[in-house]
Structure 1
Amino acid sequence: MQIPGKIRLGLLTLLGALSAVCSQALAGVRIEGQVQAGGGPISNSTVTLWSASAGEPKQLAEAKTGSDGQFQLGTDATPGTDTILYLVAKGGVATINKGSGDNPAIVLLTVLGNRPPAKVVINEMTTVASVWTHAQFLDGTAITGHPLGLRIAAGNVPNFVDLATGGWGEAIQGPLNSGQTPTMANFATLADVISGCVVQVQAAACNSLFAASTSPTGTVPTDTLAAAESVARYPWYQPNRLYDLLGQFYQVSTVNHMLTVPYMPYLNWAPSAWVLPLKFDGGGYRAGGKAMFDSEGNLWVGDNFTIGWQGQDSLWQGHATKFAPNGKPLSPITTGFTGGGMEGGTFGAAVDANDNAWFTNYGSKAIAVFDKNGKPLTPPEGITFNGQLGLIQGIIVTPSGDVWVLGVEKNQLIHFPKGDLTKGRIVCEGDKEEPCKSFRAPFHLGIDQQDRIWVSNSGVEHVTRFPASDPSKVENFKTGINNSGLGIDSQGNVWVTNRFGTGLLGMAHLIDMGVRLKLEGVTAASDYLTTIMSKQKGGAFGGSVTLLRPDGTQFPGSPFKGGGLPGPWAAAVDGNDNVWISNFAMPSSPIVQLCGARTENCPPGFKTGDQISPPGGYAGGGLQMLTDIAVDPAGNVWAMNNWQNIDSCIGTPPEAISTRCGGQGVVIFYGMAKPVRAPQIGPARQP
């Protein structure tokens, strides 16, 4: 039988396509690469290709490097979509140090992601990048974790290193990070001291590295990967030990008077902690408020202002920004996502089970909702209840699907049963009925495991609690002064940030702010708040954090104060129930890690409320004056820069800095916290 030409051509096309698909499947993974140390090859090193997922990692292939450090390996297995691939190089001879012999302490790592490049490098820099991004998933050479977390972690490795060359990645050497923060120098210094052991710059170099990276639990590393993991897990622990190795391992050049290190720039002084934060901007971000993650790990944040505007508290016109898990902006570059009443985002953002993003707004006095692609689901003016809403702040989605909103200006409570935009109502307002009678400038809210809603009040020394089923049944519990952030842990304990701390000075500030609100209006009160906070220092006269048990009684030692709490704004609970605090204070405000209620998840010797981070908190990364802080499904901690130059934010600023009020960019601290499920609906839970 003769097949007609058109049909024959179609069959040939189909067969060709099937052949291509089959050949791709059969091809599996083929990788060429080189193992390096100190810029030179490592010969006779054993390179293993692994597949990581939620279960035990699987070995896929193995090869030995030649005298030039080169290797080739492959597998016919095609990695599943829920896996990532990584390479481990063990042992070998660093040829840059001739005669050094085989070094069994060499263990280097390169995480490749789901689709590896054809050519890769394994060296000290890829090891640092892979360890810090995967700190929550690494145990020796084994990487294990939930698919989203692994995907996020692997996707951030290229921000630090170029996998094909082993050199600098795009983000770390970009203009936001390279010359603006100490991250590049921190990173290179870590690579230098690891290289000292790999190359064996001294006979006892590896022993020195292992001693300097011994954990607070007393665990002594036995190889370079274990040393890097120890430092990444406890970056705050005696950081000078590792820094001191720089001067021990390397001599000063007589030519350029710099240390003869393989990687530059190196640090001139010991850091306060071995953290590697990176800053990202774009997507319309300017003065971000509250931030939440969706089910894919993307971050949504409402912006106070819009890029290019001379933004101040008297003019809120910002939109919505969306960042990918690797920090890349996904919303329009200048405006962000617009429409639906989005005008002047606040400390109110929530993501529901359908990945719709809800925002409260100051400029429009409206609620705006976007779908996962940034399309407005609310009318152009937003939801205003016919203009009845005042300035609004906190918003949450509950496990039952309900949405609750707070009106800070009119002491309002708004409820959307099951998140239905057509069925929203103002539950109460002002002093007419509870729970609004107990509100005084309500700011943020959360729901506990008993379906009770807790509300922080920025105008009084208490939080308000009521059952979601009957908001009229109100209880109030004493806190510090000028509450803002609120986070609930897995046991139902409630962490509350007190921006004015406790005591007479804080109360005097609160009274002064209230007088300005009554006589001069919201803008004057807001300017007073931010001015006072910008001058606060950590300690007795700074801010504080209150911890309430589920029954509302204060935890022993609460409220907690410390050098890292000058102006605490937000509280985020991680998957281990440890607590992360942002600060709105000095121009480079720190973030702080506190030991939570489950002290078994804290380092040895720490009790609930103790500051795990350095005395002044974690710094660097381009931090400015912060509002929110959030933990993603990979354990990365995101901080929202809200203000950058207070002189631009109040009164009539000098023309040259008149657009620099709004904070620039978000800062990501990698692998610092136990991961949290996203979207977070209710108390924080592990993925």
Structure 2
Amino acid sequence: MRMRMRRGHHRAALLAALLSIAVATGPAPASGDPGPGGSGEVRQEGVVRGGSGPVPGAAVTVYEAGTRFGDRPRRLGGARTDDRGRFRVAYSPPRDPGAVVYVTADARPADGGAGGRARTTPPVRFAAVLTGAAGGPGRRLGVTERTTVAAGFALAQFTRDGGFAGPWPGPRNAASVAHNLADVTTGGVSPILAAPPNGGQTSTLRAFNSLADALAACTARARDCAQLFEAARVPGGELPRDTLQAVADIARAPGTRPGAVFALARRRPVYTPALDAAPTAWTLALRYEGNGREFDGPGNIAFDRAGDAWVVNNYVWARDPRDPACGGRELLRIRPDGRDAPGAPYPGGGLYGAGYGVAIDRSGDVWAANFGFQGRGCALDPDPLFRSVSQFDPRGRALSPPQGWRQGDFVQPQGLATGRDGTVWVANCGNRSVTRIPRGRPGRAENIPVGDGKLVKPFGVALDGRGRAWVTGNGSDSVAVFGPEGNLERTVTGGGLRRPMGIAADSRGNQWVSNSGGVRVPCEDDTSQDLADSAGPAGGPTADGASVILLDPDGSTPEASFTTGSLLLPWGIAVDGADTVWVADFSGQRVTRLCGVRTEACPPGHRTGQPISPASAGYGFDGLVRNTGVQVDPSGNVWLTNNWELVPLQTNPGGRQLVVFVGLAAPVRTPLIGLPRPL
């Protein structure tokens, strides 16, 4: 998914100025000729267009986003549009090459109204993100409702009072995602959103255009602005002041008043194709497939400090799912905008058929657990291949030998987590044990067996603030708690634990466990066919015991587990920077959001464990298949792994994409080591 660059015939000084405002991972922003202030000043040209045509008299401003929450964006330059909506702004670019630069255009609705109340500022605010935009010298901007929706969603977690501010790398990465929704050189739909695996294959393009239609209604008529702001208001929050803030508020609370927003979109339909019915929530999700020949059963994700996604793959990619696929042998690394990182994917290190286990340690090294997944008909014997973990440095170079690190008696390892002292913990699904690698030194790895049926099919691992490891037992309906030195402190049972899968800590040291209710993990004597049989048909009835439970830091269980109609077959689980809880579903093509222990971060009146997403549907998306891993990145995007197809052929059941819900969660500082921390 590479963006094309048009070559210009301008001076080298101009190119240096352009590069000074490009993000480190993307092409230069669209800028024009040197301005009258000399070679260090650039001149940006463009046009502001609403659904009804050019917007004259709009106040256009170029800003540099603030670098901390609460900062005021820095004004770089401004101008007004002429009677054809055209503008030209001369400004000096920021010195920081990672700065986020964007344009706003403020205008009153075409009917001249004030938007529902006395205002000193216009209610219509268009926006377009310059940083990372495609195009080269001389390319003009198209600032439209579509670019406004793109900016508002991608930077939703960094938007306050109609401007952008937040710490690195959140806004920078979010800016690159904005360009996957809208093309700021034309003001239209981005090629990423317009084409497979997005485009007509999912509902996102139609939802995106419908949101732009809702803004177009406000651009045309002040009364519709007032209705838009009321529909967009976050529960318990203030009324948005302008359309950009309204978009960001919809992104952060997408299930609040979906019908009211849709009614506005139908009032002035301009952009096509659009939705023909109101969604249950206004989410925008993108599918990423890297180079198109690498994803085959992605199992889980770990984000590094810069927000790149490191992904483990169950299988070797094959075009035809009827062809037997052996275990995946490459570690994937995906930029925030869905492109492969340079040199990725990375082979070697004994990697083979990794499943749910991937984590990044304090040095930036990436660890993967070699479960040994392979499709039916693969001619390889997996036994010698599922007895190791692999280690890669931050550049993707294998540090483990060709057979992987084997000290520690690994057997079909699954979940994996790293501690603040560098210790690595691995759940051995195949031999009822946990392996501890002190300070990340494989030669000192020790195996910790758990007998008496207290930990059968160890699967997920999470650490708390004291360095203890919490490990789910899928086959024993239990969670085992290990002290920092590896001693088994206790085994937790009851409280609703039933076929548990993922586990995630919140900032207060509580542990959240996703109970599948029925998934039989394919280790010990169970096979992938047993997993398929236990999962049942996609979208089937809720599994008996499907739920989420909360364990206190002392390991005590609640009187009852948390259930909701959107939890059909819970698998992966993650906690965001506001301690709200995200649950991936292996059956229902959805992700569920639950209120965490910090109820002040939830809608008013919500209790811990109560769904924030629609209770019966969650945040659904027709581009999801069967999902295992879910993680939150530093921009507030929620990533899920399309792990298995809806109808999985056991020769090669793997799904082919990552799915990213844009701007939906509170950002998390990465890598995730121990307890989650807000950005």
In structure 1, the residue corresponding to 2:663 is in which secondary structure? coil
Larger mean CA deviation between 232-241 and 78-87 belongs to: 78-87
Q: CA deviation at 1:163?
A: 1.0
Match of 1:274 in 2: 282
In structure 2, the residue corresponding to 1:229 is in which secondary structure? helix
Checking the alignment, whether the CA contact within 8 Å between 2:457 and 2:523 is kept in structure 1 is: no
Distance (Å, rounded) in 1 between the aligned partners of 2:192 and 2:42: 27
- CA displacement 1:201-227 (0-9 Å, x = unmatched): xx6322332333333226333432232
Match of 1:113 in 2: 131
Match of 1:289 in 2: 299
Q: CA deviation at 1:332?
A: 7.1
Pair 1:196 & 2:217 matched: yes
Pair 1:376 & 2:368 matched: no
Q: For residues 18 and 543 of structure 1, do their structure 2 counterparts lie closer, same or farther at Cα, with a shift above 3 Å needed? A: closer
Higher helix proportion (structure 1 or 2): 1
Distance (Å, rounded) in 2 between the aligned partners of 1:218 and 1:472: 46
Cα RMSD for the two superposed structures = 2.8
Pair 1:543 & 2:546 matched: yes
1:121 alignment partner AA: G
Unpaired runs of 5+ residues, structure 1, are 1-15, 251-260, 501-508, 650-657
Match of 1:683 in 2: 675
Checking the alignment, whether the CA contact within 8 Å between 1:331 and 1:337 is kept in structure 2 is: no
Distance (Å, rounded) in 2 between the aligned partners of 1:65 and 1:373: 46
Distance (Å, rounded) in 1 between the aligned partners of 2:448 and 2:244: 58
1:242-281 to 2 correspondences below 5 Å: 242-247=261-266, 249-250=267-268, 261-281=269-289
Q: CA deviation at 1:196?
A: 1.1
- CA displacement 1:610-650 (0-9 Å, x = unmatched): 1111121111151010000000000000010111143413x
Q: For residues 214 and 150 of structure 1, do their structure 2 counterparts lie closer, same or farther at Cα, with a shift above 3 Å needed? A: closer
In structure 2, the residue corresponding to 1:268 is in which secondary structure? coil
Match of 1:606 in 2: 606
Q: CA deviation at 1:466?
A: 2.0
Match of 2:42 in 1: 29
- CA displacement 1:313-365 (0-9 Å, x = unmatched): 995345321111111133778xx422111110111001122222110112221
Distance (Å, rounded) in 2 between the aligned partners of 1:105 and 1:577: 33
In structure 2, the residue corresponding to 1:554 is in which secondary structure? coil
1:630 alignment partner AA: Q
Distance (Å, rounded) in 2 between the aligned partners of 1:285 and 1:22: 38
Q: Which of 298, 304, 307 is the equivalent residue of 2:314?
A: 304
Larger mean CA deviation between 349-358 and 209-218 belongs to: 209-218
Q: Which of 535, 538, 561 is the equivalent residue of 1:530?
A: 535
Distance (Å, rounded) in 1 between the aligned partners of 2:654 and 2:18: 53
Distance (Å, rounded) in 2 between the aligned partners of 1:22 and 1:246: 40
Checking the alignment, whether the CA contact within 8 Å between 1:28 and 1:78 is kept in structure 2 is: no
Q: For residues 116 and 338 of structure 1, do their structure 2 counterparts lie closer, same or farther at Cα, with a shift above 3 Å needed? A: closer
Q: For residues 572 and 419 of structure 1, do their structure 2 counterparts lie closer, same or farther at Cα, with a shift above 3 Å needed? A: same
Q: CA deviation at 1:19?
A: 11
Q: For residues 20 and 87 of structure 1, do their structure 2 counterparts lie closer, same or farther at Cα, with a shift above 3 Å needed? A: closer
Pair 1:320 & 2:331 matched: yes
Match of 1:486 in 2: 503
Pair 1:406 & 2:414 matched: no
Checking the alignment, whether the CA contact within 8 Å between 1:50 and 1:86 is kept in structure 2 is: yes
Q: For residues 389 and 93 of structure 1, do their structure 2 counterparts lie closer, same or farther at Cα, with a shift above 3 Å needed? A: closer
Q: Which of 566, 569, 575 is the equivalent residue of 2:568?
A: 566
Q: CA deviation at 1:310?
A: 4.8
Distance (Å, rounded) in 2 between the aligned partners of 1:535 and 1:568: 12
- Of structures 1 and 2, the larger Rg is shown by 1
1:686 alignment partner AA: P
Match of 1:360 in 2: 369
Pair 1:329 & 2:340 matched: yes
Q: For residues 82 and 219 of structure 1, do their structure 2 counterparts lie closer, same or farther at Cα, with a shift above 3 Å needed? A: same
Match of 1:84 in 2: 100
Distance (Å, rounded) in 2 between the aligned partners of 1:579 and 1:313: 37
Q: For residues 599 and 93 of structure 1, do their structure 2 counterparts lie closer, same or farther at Cα, with a shift above 3 Å needed? A: closer
Q: For residues 409 and 108 of structure 1, do their structure 2 counterparts lie closer, same or farther at Cα, with a shift above 3 Å needed? A: same
Q: CA deviation at 1:448?
A: 0.6
Pair 1:465 & 2:469 matched: no
In structure 2, the residue corresponding to 1:345 is in which secondary structure? coil
In structure 1, the residue corresponding to 2:502 is in which secondary structure? strand
2:232 alignment partner AA: S
Q: CA deviation at 1:76?
A: 2.7
Q: Which of 173, 196, 200 is the equivalent residue of 1:179?
A: 200
Pair 1:40 & 2:57 matched: no
1:41 alignment partner AA: P
